[in-house]
Structure 1
Amino acid sequence: MSTTDEPTTDGRPPQEDPVTPAPAKRKHLPVWQETILLLGIALVLAIVIKALFVQAFYIPSESMEPGLVQNDRILVEKPSYWLGGAPERGDVVVFKDPGGWLNGAEAAGPSGFVAKTLSKVGLYPTGGHLVKRVIGVEGDVIKCCDEKGRLLVNGQPLDEKDYARLGGAECYGPMVGNCDWEVGPVPKGQIFVMGDNRNNSADSSYHMCPPKATDCTRNPYVDVDDVVGKVFVLLWPSDRFHVLHRPDTFADVPDAE
């Protein structure tokens, strides 16, 4: 507080300068309330992230070995398939069970209250989904196999030795029962998928009609609408952490006629 020493012109005594009151201190929430608030914000963010961007899953079987092993934890990103985007040849995708592709053990989600709760908001891997590699997209014709046992897509052989396992088979498409089959053109809005463990994968080739069958109604394709997203990270175990990339061999496949 200060005063003016000089007298005023009208002879009145000097006046004290006005004092601005100090701002009131903001009250902090108790620790337990702040904790609940932060948990609520984290929960909302987790739900938004799961719905729009990234979701955790696990590998339900041996079908994607050697690259992805049963019970591996993976991250799936969704924006790649926004705004007209669609799965591309070579992508490893997660999709909903088209119906009967998973057995009971593979279809089961996490057990335990905490794990089930976290899985619903994307903080824990969920069940009921499959993980396969896209081999053919709309219009493609897939044929097994050339003299080297390689799959052909639109006539172009695929060099898959860097990521696929034969498991004692003579070709890269043995689940039909032989190495002489053809499927396609892949219908609009669908994809043809296969596991990397070619001799142990209940994939599109396993669910297709046998060659020369006349009364078979089996559907080997997966609806694009059932695809959750593209696998981009092997998250756990940490010693095998890596980012997944589309194999170069698919870049040589010509567009469907």
Structure 2
Amino acid sequence: MTLDPDQTGPIAIGGKAREWTATVVGAHRLREDLTVIRLIGEFVPFAAGQSVEVRTPQHPNMVRRLYPALPPSMDGKLEFHVRTVPGGWCSGSLVSDTRTGDEWRISNPAGWLAVDPEAPEVVMVADGVGLAPLRALLLDMSRREDPPRTTLFVGGRYPRDLYASDMLHLLTGELPWLTVLPVVLDDEDPVRADNWYEACRVDIGFRPEEMIPGSLDEVVGRFAPLVHHQVLVCGGAAAVHATVERLVATGTPPENIRYEGF
């Protein structure tokens, strides 16, 4: 999926431009390069797994496309996971400068990440903040009477990149049909400290022995072919493309795979 950071203009519904407003109620800096932003406002009619366009006070004339990490909520709750993109001044200011009380304008839900109602088993692959839409889908699936058995691979370069390990650990305890497999390229964090990580460190999460070493595409490829699974992949473009190519090369039917990279 290709996004144009200079695109402007709200969605037109029935020929009439439409935006929804939401107010930031919390901006939680979890890493030096990552913030979880929570908002409450008007109901936004998106589907779990989709992305939306946002305008913020920091860049009122610039549109950025983000993925809600919660399914649609009638009480207007929204959550976004924002990570600094190298060289990306817009994402950097969202991570460092978002404040409680900021008003966001939201428009144009789009995307095709979704879990088919008849999928017998599901595999999800999240690179970094690509976890956000997959988490929204997991919470949406939890409302079903009989959710499909689901395996979620979450990947990062270092263990501390797995920013939601505590949330995922708790989620597996609540959802017996969910298995989470953490994947890291390096099994030790870098020597350089991340003060934000140290400040919010908790004891709940993945133990070192639970983490699978390797890249996402390598590790997921070991489980292929995924002939009877629906596969959803989301994250950085390079990791997504490598994972999809590995899956197809190892026998997973392309029609079984949905993916979005950014």
Calculate the TM-score normalised by the size of structure 2. 0.24
Calculate the TM-score normalised by the size of structure 1. 0.24
Greater CA radius of gyration, 1 or 2?
Answer: 1
Question: Counting strand residues as a fraction of each chain, which structure ranks higher?
Answer: 2
- Higher RCO by CA contacts (8 Å cutoff, separation 6 or greater): 1
